[in-house]
Amino acid sequence: RTPKVQALLSSIESRESLLRQRVQQLADEKAAQQQRLEDEVARLQRSNAEMEEQLRRCHYRQLQGQREADDAATLVRPPEPEAGGMGYAAQSPLPSARVEPAVQQRQESFRSEMQRQLAEIRGEVMRC
């Protein structure tokens, strides 16, 4: 081989080695980014689950408070006589507790924000 051919081969091999290193570096960066995104998705899912549990507990306490108030009101008010004047009317069922519109709106807003963030993260994962 001539020195010129030898120099060309050496240059090609050097470039090839640099390209392989760069490809490996990019693959490592992509894997690290993927792991970070998966960790973030898991963290958001845990956070979402915790907040949903808090919301359930809060809603449960509201229902319990409403039932206690309804029970107290039932104990205070005497039964009403039936239309025929014989005996007493059956107690009416407890009114169903409703979530206040402002609370429901905050719940829906929070839920949609969490879904938007999750969709954004999933989109980022798909781009990788």
CA triple 125-47-113, angle to 5 deg? 65
Give the per-residue pLDDT at 72. Answer: 67
Q: What is the pLDDT of residue 87?
A: 46
Q: What pLDDT is recorded for position 122?
A: 78
Assigned token pair, 115: 């879904």
CA–CA dist 84, 1 (Å, integer): 120
- What does the pLDDT read at residue 60? 86
**pLDDT of res. 117:** 81
The residues, any chain, with a CB within 8 Å of residue 34's CB and separated by 6 or more, are 125, 128
Beta bridge partners of 88: 81
Listed residue (119, 124, 123) closest to 44, CA to CA: 119
Going residue by residue through the chain (128 aa), what tens digit of pLDDT does each one get? Answer: 799 999 999 999 999 999 999 999 999 999 999 999 999 999 999 999 999 999 888 888 888 877 777 776 665 555 555 555 444 444 444 444 455 777 778 778 878 888 888 887 877 777 76
Q: At what angle do helices 3-76 and 101-127 cross, to 10 degrees?
A: 170
pLDDT at position 100:
72
Global pTM value: 0.44
pLDDT at 98: 57
